[in-house]
Structures are given as structure tokens and as C-alpha cells.
Amino acid sequence: MSSNGNVYAALTASKLFTGATWPSPSPWPILSRFSEVQSSRLKFALPLPNVLKNHFKLADGPPSSAVGSPDEIKELFPNLFGQSSVMLLPGRDSSEDNKSLRIGVVLSGGQAPGGHTVISGIFDYLQERAKGSKMYGFKGGPAGIMKFKYVELTSDVINLYRNQGGFDMICSGRDKIETPEQLKQAADTVQKLDLDGLVVIGGDDSNTNACILAEYFRGQNLKTRVIGCPKTIDGDLKCKEVPISFGFDTATKIFSELIGNVMVDARSTGKYYHFVRLMGRAASHITLECALQTHPNVTIIGEEVAAQNFTLKNVTGYITDIICKRAELGYNYGVVLIPEGLIDFIPEVQQLISELNEILAHDAVDKEGVWKKKLRSQSCQLFELLPQDIQDQLLLERDPHGNVQVSKIETEKMLIQMIETELEKRRKDGLYNNNFIGRPHFFGYEGRCGLPSKFDSDYCYALGYGAAALLQFGKTGLISSVGNLGAPVEKWTVGGTALTSLMDVERRQGQFKPVIKKAMVELEGAPFKKLASMRDEWALNNRYVSPGPIQFVGPTSNIRNQTLTLELGAQA
Amino acid sequence: MSSNGNVYAALTASKLFTGATWPSPSPWPILSRFSEVQSSRLKFALPLPNVLKNHFKLADGPPSSAVGSPDEIKELFPNLFGQSSVMLLPGRDSSEDNKSLRIGVVLSGGQAPGGHTVISGIFDYLQERAKGSKMYGFKGGPAGIMKFKYVELTSDVINLYRNQGGFDMICSGRDKIETPEQLKQAADTVQKLDLDGLVVIGGDDSNTNACILAEYFRGQNLKTRVIGCPKTIDGDLKCKEVPISFGFDTATKIFSELIGNVMVDARSTGKYYHFVRLMGRAASHITLECALQTHPNVTIIGEEVAAQNFTLKNVTGYITDIICKRAELGYNYGVVLIPEGLIDFIPEVQQLISELNEILAHDAVDKEGVWKKKLRSQSCQLFELLPQDIQDQLLLERDPHGNVQVSKIETEKMLIQMIETELEKRRKDGLYNNNFIGRPHFFGYEGRCGLPSKFDSDYCYALGYGAAALLQFGKTGLISSVGNLGAPVEKWTVGGTALTSLMDVERRQGQFKPVIKKAMVELEGAPFKKLASMRDEWALNNRYVSPGPIQFVGPTSNIRNQTLTLELGAQA
């Protein structure tokens, strides 16, 4: 702030405006400063699985089907359906002829730590095993493909992003390539760049889109192959062949670091209940993993809430019961974890929202509340249960289509208010006689772009290196698959899984749409069972664990997330 | 959640309630689980400055005075005023006779990483140099002294907390020992425990209180000496002899890790403005330090706002100007840092609050707004400028004394709303034509209890070890002082500074109160000048730096905070 207060004039007059600037979203040449930790990661050489260190050949598995509706999937993907998944094995193959390739890469959807490492894995493969290759990055996600916006990825660029967090090398976007016109645009782009292959780094929707592109390109007899890579901090893209999506490990470690700190604070202060909402709208894997790492007093898992048909009152009552019980034990503090998508999992809330949308579309909301008579009795009761400001928010803040914006509700604050009300009631009934102070937190953006953990770094490097290998073998419509993750990196397996084999169809507006179903928290799976077996003890006795900050060197750098560890353990 | 929904009954019936439980705030025996990083820190041996490794003697400095009002300070502290600060030097002293000691320790005020390490420093001194000593921890802060609540600190306890974050070994509290009755209670306690010394670990107020205790005990001819240790993440307790308070280094690194992550996310996504409010109500050191570590687009420093007599409109305008300028450059994203205490620094807001308190104490607030006529014109304009929900909050949510609760205002959200309004106005004037999405964050509790950084660990260990040495030399009324921090640990100096020399008086309700003045951000100091010289460039060009998570081993573990580095550099 300049001292005369006229900052704007000062800025405008400054020399800053004469230099060349880079239009968003391509700020990559601007990254000119690194912290010491960033610098140390830049230079860190990543290990490869043994199979990628020498000559390898491809082994085909049996023909594949689809997880559901194979007939419809076959109709949607006539060129790809049924193809085998493949595995890289030591040996020599005539396809591996070291010819140079032209490869494009795109980041799709929300950020996840490790995206740059996938890209450097692809790049290093091309440098080492397909000399003379060219690599292009599409800017701003799939829109970059459609709009022919790209940048050549040379070592000058790649070396600025090795082991760094974020997607800022080429940025990302949420567009999809779906309509015939959009598919045509994509085909034009890959032809103009004469691409042998395209790697799509994304979540469930983006990998579905990758498969659609692979099918389309093959149907058009284009030489461009398409390989997907499993990315999402949410952890909801996984299956037997793809045991985990990258980014989940790092993001949950960052969130758990913060939760652990807040826990120690709660115990030290003795007077706060920290309510931590965690990113992850569709599935509660992040919340579950953070609970397994930190042992909070309360963990709400959306999938359980839905399966048990819990009401909002049930959830509030459950937390309030534990608060009262802890007060009896002398603990007026605690930590509660809530998934971002909690409200979406509560059936009665969905019902209320849909009734509200209907009513608000046609009627005015009178101050006297006559409009409420249009709500079904259960919905009306639920509405009355909500704190005043949440009621206001539901009625007043609507999206451009006039719909209630449920995603804007700060669930952690809502629960704090509802619990305050419930505790006040119990106080009057002589059932509670203590102080409750809730402190809300939302952790999400803090974890999507952290420096990748050792696990995510190793995993992403193998995913990228493997994806490039699959392209050199001429494969398409596969998702890069790195397995045997319970073993040291050297023994990891590398291959590709037929994307069609992961698919089912959903009927949307009368049409069949192919989808890779999101992997939800399995209530019979090992991670949830572990939580279920421990949570009563964690509720009342304080078993807090503080995971601390991610370490990049030394023995503690090798820790892996609990979800993967428990799932692999259950399989073994 | 048990499947029948009746969790409360299930919990009550469980065996969990039959075991022994520990009343809050003494949960220390419950800490039974450590993460791998916690475990690795437990076993980590800390280095000592060379002077503490062998025999040492005390060297007295010249007689001291006070930073202000020496006559009043002399009157308030007749027994302590004028005493010399001391330095430990290599050599042998007859006072260092290895006699056993009985030492009490208390944690006072908010949590800061390193408190446990100070305690283990004291403990190790006693073990190594005063064999047969006993150590006691007062529970829940100064209240523990007054209420005779303590626990003996043996190696079994200490070894559970080595290098760990938090204050949960003995917990903390915000009480003060001030009235004659309270001082008498404290005297009774130290006599009952037959204490040779008491170490008070706290901030400016707590160290003032330590000095009052030291004076009182000496006046009563008690043998108990009192030594203070400088603690606060806020960084506002410092002077020449005490270059930094412990906890600041760790907390700012944790906040900067998160800010760095959010910055990379902003650049990758290209569509969010993250508004980060940072703990630190009285001074803006934390915000300044985080800015120096991460290079945000906007940094608001409360001390500058106050010095320049900025209005809320100035601040909003400054940020909005930068947003508009960035939009012209193609950047519709950014990161803005705001100190928690911003509102307290804006003179016109203070004026409005005091007028509101006056009006609300006497009049009803009518819906038509006639009451507003009682506001002075400038205050009325400011009130109208505030977003609706902030207006409501000011009018409705008052503390038990009926006062407006300014501390409850989420400044980052308020600024986002005011900037939205301002941008809408500029849009209508054709001066802005882009999308602005603000995302609020508040980082505070996440940083107070993290695992201490290497710097804080080394510093705290020396502070504690040195404090015990001062007690063995029979010193009282000093604050443990570790200096020469620009050099490696081995060359650090160790001594004690007369607490009275740091004091001034404040007139409160007609009485003189001794205070250690909070160290505010100096607008002529090297850290602020660095920010001032860089911020225009950071505003428009993106110079984001992502410090990453604190590393405990390897070369990147030795990074020190910028504020200390720049201040030491300016002194050199």
C-alpha cells in the first residue's frame, strides 16, 4: 500500500505493466521461485519398478467384459469392448522398437498431488526409450484439446515441475468431450499434431471420456491411441487392477496432519469441540482415511448414514450423546470428522430439497410461513429443526436455475448449531451441565496441491512411465495400472486395464450413458470395519494420533495410507 | 453408530465406563499411541549450545532500568528493580555446587509448539547437573498453582512428550495471579512443595505475572525463585536479548505450508481468490512472516493500516484494485493474507463499535432504522457499507456484558462480500468484466500444536536448560534468554534478562499496571521493509512460493523463519 493511499494509480504507473505477460491459464514460465523443500524435491530421482528398468514385453490377459450391462457397453464401444487387459513382463518384444512417438497429455478435473509426476514419467519414458519423441500438453483440461491450445513439453518445462504439487504446468479443466462436434474437434487436434497417443489424467468421468475418445479415434481409423491414468484425491476411482487413485495418499496425509494438530490443541485447551468437514462430496473415503490416521472422537461416514437411513436428527443425536458422555468423564473437548457430502447422503434432506425446489419454483415464500403447509409433514419437521440461518440460506440463495444450493451449506456449522440447541434442551432436563464451544474447519483446497508424498511420487512416476509404454505397444482404451503396491516399488507390477471392463451404464434422460461407477466406502470393507471396531473406544477414551507433516526423506517417508494398507491386507 | 440407532444406550452399557478415567485437564496418562513421525521425534536427541555442555559460570551485566517509567517500575518492584541481566560463560562457579533442587513449572496462555521441549530441557538439566532433584508440573496453568493442582514430572512422563507439540503434558490456562489473596495462595503452594524455583512459560502477560511472583516471593523472604520463558506463536514478545518467542517458527511454517498449497491450487484452477485470515489479534507478525515465506498477491498488515489511518473502504479498495488489475492481465485468481486482528486496527471501526455499544445499552433497535440517526455521520456510513449479515451480527450477537462481539466477525468473509459489492459497481461502470469467486480460510488452531520445527526444538531445549541453570545460580525475576541465533546452535549464547528491564506501566482504572509492551510489527523494521519492497511485484506477477511441510531431518530441516533472519541481518 503506497502511503498516499492511491495504490491503483501507483500500480498503473509502475513498470510492471510493460513486460510480457502470459494469458491465463498458462502461467508456467512464471514459476521462478522455489522454497528449499521444493528445490530439494525438484532434484529427487524417483525409483522405477524393476520391470520398467529393463526390456519388457506385453502379456495379454483373457478377453474382458464389463462390470454391468455388458450388452449396452458393447453397443456403445463396438471397437473396444472385450479387449484384454495387459501386463508388462521382463523380455523383449518386436513392438518395442524404440521408434519415436508424438504424445499429448491432458489433466482433467480437480487437482491432485502427483499430476506433474505422471507427466514426467511419460516424458522420461520417451527420452529413454523412444528417442526423438515429441510431447505436448493441452492447456486448461479437455477444452485445450477442443480449442487446439497446447504447449510443447520439453525438458526445460518438465524439469521445473518434477515432484511438485499442483496442476499448474498445463492447468486443468472440467469440460467433457462428448458431442459429435466436440469429438470432431478433438480428432482435428490430434491429427493436426499428428499424435500417436494421448494420455488423459483424470477421475472416473475423465477416464470414461478417455474411453469414448479411444473408441471414436479407432472408429475413425485415426492412429491416435488413448490411455487413462487414475487421479482423484477423493479415492473413489479404484478397483482390483487399479488399487488406488493418485493424490489420495498425499491429500489425506495433509488433512490428517491438520486434524492431528487440532486434536492436540483440543486436549491441551480442554474447552473446544473441533468440527472438521473434509473434502469429498460423492464418497467418504477421505474422512474414513483421516479417522484411521488420527482416531477422532466422532467420525460420520456418508455411506453408513445412507445405508442405515439415518435422519439429520439421528446424526445430531449421536454426536450429542457422545458429547454428554464425555462431559460426564470430565472431557469438554473433542474432534468430530464430517464428510463434505454428508447432507447428500441423508435421504430426508434430499426429499426436503426436492420439495423446496418444487415449491420455490411456483410460489412466493410468505413471512407467516403459510407456504410451509405445502411441505410433507416429515419435511416440514426437518425444516423446522434446521437453524434459522440455514433456513434462510435454503430459501434465499439459489443457483441460476432457481434450485436450492445444498452444496453451499457449511455442514460443520449447521451441526454445531443443532447440537447447541439439543444440549440446551438437555440442560433444561438436567441431563447436561457443561460448556460446549464448537469450532468449525473445512479442509479441502489445502490438500489438493501439496508436494506429493513419497508414495504418490513413486506411484505416479510408474503410472506415467507405464502409460507411455502402453502407447508404444500400440494399446488404446486402457487405464494405466500399477499393482502389488504392498511390496517395495521394485516389485510393483505395471500394465493396463481395459476401460470398458470398469464400466456400467446409467440411464439419463432416456439415454444410456457409460459410466465408471464411483467406488463408495464399502461397509463390509476392511477400512470401515476397522473404524467400526474402534470408534466406541475413540469416542470416550482419547486415542488421538498426530501424524505430523509429510516427511520426504528418512524412514517415516515410507508410510502409506491406511485404506490401501488395510484393503491389500484383506486381499492377501 | 450402532445399527439400532440407539447409540447412547449402547455406549452406556459398554465396558468403557467401568475403567478409571482421568479428570480434565490432566489427560496425560492417556497418550498411548504415536504416529511414526511422533515416535521418531520422541527419540530425537537435541543439541545444546557449547556453553551448556561443560562447566559454566555467571557473568553479570550492568544494572538495568526499564523500557519506560523507571520510577513507577522501581516502586512496583522494589526488590527486583535494577538487577543485572546475566550471561553464562565457560568456567567454574562455586554456586554451581550440584545441589539438588525442587522446581515447579507452569504453562500459561495459548498453546505454542515447543512447550514440552522447554520442560524436557529443565528436566534434563536437573538430571544431569542437580542429581536428586524433583520437578513438578502445575496443571491447567496458573490456576494449578493457586489451587495446588500438580503432578510430579518423572522421566516416565517427560519421555512421553519429548519433541511433541501441544501443552497436554500438564495443560495450560489463562488465569493470572494478581490479587493479594491469589499471591498468598501461590506462596502457600510453593512453600508446601518446598520449591527452590518456578519456571513460568508464557507470553507478555504471563512473564509480567512471573515478575510479580518473583517480587512477591522475595518480599516474603521465600526461597522460591521465578524464571520466565518467552512463548507465543504471535511473535509479539521479543526484544534485543530475547530475539524471538518460541512457537512462532513452527506455527508460521505450518500456516505457510497451507498457504503455499492454496496458492498452487489457485494458479492451477485459475478461478479462485483465497482469502486467508491468520491468527494473531494484537500484532501482524504471523501474517508478515507467512507473506515473506509465500509471496501472496495481497498482504494486509494491521500496524500499517493503523499508522496510515486507513478506513475499511481503503482496504477494500486496495484489494479490489489489485483484483481488477490482475483481471486485465488474465489472472482471475489470487491469494490475500489478512491478520486476525485487522478490524481492531481500523480506527473508524473502533469508533463505530463504541458508538454501537453505547446505543445498544440504552435504546431498542427499530426495524425502520431510526436508531441509526444516533450514530455519527462517519460511523453511519461505515455501518451502511457493511454486508447485511455483518450488520445483523453486530446488532444481535453480544457478549454477556451487552457489548458487540467484534472478535466473532469473520473478517475474510466480510472482505469477500464487500469486494463483491465493489466489483459489481465497477462492472456497471465498465471497469471490470470478469468472475470473482472468493474462498475464505482461517488458519490458527492448526498451527498452535504442531510438532516443533528443528529451530523451535533447539531453541526451546536451550531455553529450558538455561532456565534451570539460572535457578541453580539462585537467580530470580529473569527471562531465559538465548541469543546469537544467526549462528549454529553450538555458538548460541545463554543467559537471563531482568524482566523489570522489559517493562513499562499502563494506567488502568486510575492505577499503574506493569506491562511488558507487545512488540508490534515495526514499519521501519527489515521484515516489513522487505514486504513493502516486494508487494507490488507480488501483486501482479505471480511469485508464489510453496514452502511445503516442515522437514525434521536433512538439509531442509534447518530453515529458519524470515522475520528472525531479516532482523538478525539488519542488526549485523
- Per the DSSP assignment, residues forming a β-bridge with A276 are A337, A441
Q: Is A98 on the interface with B (CB under 8 A)?
A: no
Q: Is B452 on the interface with A (CB under 8 A)?
A: no
For residue B503, what is its C-alpha cell? 517493562
Q: How many Cβ atoms from other residues are within 10 Å of residue A395's Cβ?
A: 15
Nearest to B332 among A16, A24, A317 (CB): A24
Instruction: Give the pLDDT confidence score for residue A314 in this predicted structure.
Output: 94
In a 3-state reduction of DSSP, which class is residue A358?
Answer: helix
Nearest to A318 among B1, B12, B329 (CB): B1
DSSP letter at A386?
S
Of B240, B167, B165, B254, give the one whose Cα is nearest residue B206. Answer: B167
- Residues for chain B: how many in total? 572
CA distance B515 to B533: 33
Q: How many Cβ atoms from other residues are within 10 Å of residue A339's Cβ?
A: 30
Nearest to B21 among A258, A330, A441 (CB): A330
Q: For an interface test with A, which of B37, B231, B541 has the most A Cβ atoms less than 10 Å from its Cβ?
A: B37
Q: Is A108 on the interface with B (CB under 8 A)?
A: no
CA distance A167 to A448: 10
Q: According to the annotation, is A398 in a ligand binding site?
A: no
Is there a cis peptide before residue A25, judged by omega within 30 degrees of 0? yes
In chain B, the residue whose alpha carbon lies closest to the alpha carbon of A9 is B321
In chain A, the residue whose alpha carbon lies closest to the alpha carbon of B11 is A536
Q: Collect all residues of chain B within an 8 Å Cβ-Cβ radius of residue A167.
A: 268
Q: Are A291 and A299 in contact (CB under 8 A)?
A: yes
Q: According to the annotation, is B459 in a ligand binding site?
A: no
DSSP letter at B496?
E
Which H, E and C letters describe B103-164, residue by residue? EEEEECCCCCCCHHHHHHHHHHHHHHHCCCCEEEEECCCHHHHHCCCEEECCHHHHCCCCCC
Residue B297 phi/psi, 5° resolution?
Answer: -75, -35
Q: Are A305 and A350 in contact (CB under 8 A)?
A: no
Nearest to A449 among B265, B332, B446 (CB): B265
How far apart, in Å, are the Cα atoms of B486 and each of B53, B114, B457?
A: 20, 19, 15
Residue among A124, A175, A234, A456 flagged as catalytic: A234
CA distance B279 to A138: 40
Sign (positive or negative) of CA dihedral A240, A482, A235, A486: positive
Nearest to B540 among A16, A264, A447 (CB): A16
Residue type, A521: V
Cβ within 8 Å, pair A441-B445 = yes
Instruction: Give the pLDDT confidence score for residue A264 in this predicted structure.
Output: 96
In chain A, the residue whose alpha carbon lies closest to the alpha carbon of B332 is A24
- Per the DSSP assignment, residues forming a β-bridge with A513 are A506
Is there a cis peptide before residue A78, judged by omega within 30 degrees of 0? no
Nearest to B321 among A8, A321, A445 (CB): A8
Question: Which residues of B form the catalytic set?
Answer: 234
Q: Collect all residues of chain B within an 8 Å Cβ-Cβ radius of residue A340.
A: none
For residue B321, what is its C-alpha cell? 484494485
Q: Is B254 on the interface with A (CB under 8 A)?
A: yes
Chain pair A-B, CB pairs under 8 angstroms: 279
Cβ within 8 Å, pair B165-A32 = no
For residue B501, what is its C-alpha cell? 528491564
CA distance A10 to A4: 9
In chain A, the residue whose alpha carbon lies closest to the alpha carbon of B452 is A548
For residue A68, what is its C-alpha cell? 454391468
Q: Is B20 on the interface with A (CB under 8 A)?
A: no
For residue B309, what is its C-alpha cell? 489511518
Q: Is B37 on the interface with A (CB under 8 A)?
A: yes
Q: According to the annotation, is B162 in a ligand binding site?
A: no
The interface predicted TM-score of the complex, written ipTM, equals 0.93
Of B132, B106, B302, give the one whose Cα is nearest residue B210. Answer: B106
Q: Is B524 on the interface with A (CB under 8 A)?
A: no
Q: How many CA atoms lie within 13 A of B169 on its CB side?
A: 31
Cite the DSSP H helix spans in B175-227: 180-192, 204-219
Q: Which helix (H) or strand (E) holds A532?
A: helix A526-540
C-alpha distance from B263 to closest chain A C-alpha (Å):
8
CA distance A145 to A212: 14
Instruction: Give the pLDDT confidence score for residue A547 in this predicted structure.
Output: 97
Residue type, A159: N
What is the pLDDT averaged over residues A218-247?
Answer: 97
Owner of C-alpha cell 489420495: A248
Q: Are A503 and A80 in contact (CB under 8 A)?
A: no
Owner of C-alpha cell 501386463: A87
- Would you give per-residue pLDDT tens digits along chain B (572 residues)? 443 333 333 333 332 222 233 333 334 444 447 999 999 999 999 999 999 999 999 999 999 999 999 999 999 999 999 999 999 999 987 655 678 999 999 999 999 999 999 999 999 999 999 999 999 999 999 999 999 999 999 999 999 999 999 999 999 999 999 999 999 999 999 999 999 999 999 999 999 999 999 999 999 999 999 999 999 999 999 999 999 999 999 999 999 999 999 999 999 999 999 999 999 989 999 999 999 999 999 999 999 999 999 999 999 999 999 999 999 999 999 999 999 989 989 989 989 988 988 888 887 778 778 888 899 999 999 999 998 888 888 887 777 777 777 777 889 999 999 999 999 999 999 999 999 999 999 999 999 999 999 999 999 999 999 999 999 999 999 999 999 999 999 999 999 999 999 999 998 778 889 999 999 999 999 999 999 999 999 999 999 999 999 999 988 999 999 999 999 988 76
Q: Collect all residues of chain B within an 8 Å Cβ-Cβ radius of residue A448.
A: 261, 265
How far apart, in Å, are the Cα atoms of A559 and each of A37, A118, A253?
A: 19, 20, 10
pLDDT at A254 over 70: yes
CB neighbour class for A23 (10 Å; exposed up to 12, middle 13-18, buried from 19): exposed
Q: Is B272 on the interface with A (CB under 8 A)?
A: yes
Q: Collect all residues of chain A within an 8 Å Cβ-Cβ radius of residue B171.
A: 267-270
CA distance A251 to A444: 8
Q: Collect all residues of chain B within an 8 Å Cβ-Cβ radius of residue A32.
A: 543
Q: Are A495 and A253 in contact (CB under 8 A)?
A: no
In chain B, the residue whose alpha carbon lies closest to the alpha carbon of A536 is B11
* Interval A432-470: pLDDT, tens: 999 999 999 999 999 999 999 999 999 999 999 999 999
Residue type, B160: L
Q: According to the annotation, is A447 in a ligand binding site?
A: yes
Instruction: Give the pLDDT confidence score for residue B512 in this predicted structure.
Output: 86
Cβ within 8 Å, pair A548-B38 = yes
C-alpha distance from A22 to closest chain B C-alpha (Å):
8
Q: For an interface test with A, which of B171, B172, B546, B557 has the most A Cβ atoms less than 10 Å from its Cβ?
A: B546
Q: How many Cβ atoms from other residues are within 10 Å of residue A392's Cβ?
A: 12
Q: Is B317 on the interface with A (CB under 8 A)?
A: yes
Sequence-separated (6 or more) residues with CB below 8 Å from residue A40: A552, B554, B555, B556
Q: How many CA atoms lie within 13 A of A372 on its CB side?
A: 13
Q: Is B7 on the interface with A (CB under 8 A)?
A: yes
- Per the DSSP assignment, residues forming a β-bridge with B89 are B57
pTM across the whole model: 0.93
Q: According to the annotation, is B273 in a ligand binding site?
A: no
* Interval B442-500: pLDDT, tens: 999 999 999 999 999 999 999 999 999 999 999 999 999 999 999 999 999 999 999 99
Q: For an interface test with B, which of A4, A6, A269, A541 has the most B Cβ atoms less than 10 Å from its Cβ?
A: A269
Q: Is A161 on the interface with B (CB under 8 A)?
A: no
Cβ within 8 Å, pair B293-A35 = yes
Q: How many Cβ atoms from other residues are within 10 Å of residue B430's Cβ?
A: 7
Q: For an interface test with A, which of B38, B264, B407 has the most A Cβ atoms less than 10 Å from its Cβ?
A: B264
Q: How many CA atoms lie within 13 A of B261 on its CB side?
A: 26
For residue B168, what is its C-alpha cell? 497436554
CA distance B313 to B126: 57
Instruction: Give the pLDDT confidence score for residue B95 in this predicted structure.
Output: 59
Of A215, A293, A224, give the one whose Cα is nearest residue A252. Answer: A293
CA distance A211 to A200: 10
Confidence of residue A332 (pLDDT cuts 50, 70, 90): very high
CA distance B173 to B111: 9
Q: Is A40 on the interface with B (CB under 8 A)?
A: yes
Q: For an interface test with A, which of B276, B551, B561 has the most A Cβ atoms less than 10 Å from its Cβ?
A: B551
Put simply, the chain A residues between 199 and 238 with a CB less than 8 A from any chain B CB are none
Nearest to B267 among A14, A27, A545 (CB): A27
Q: According to the annotation, is B496 in a ligand binding site?
A: no
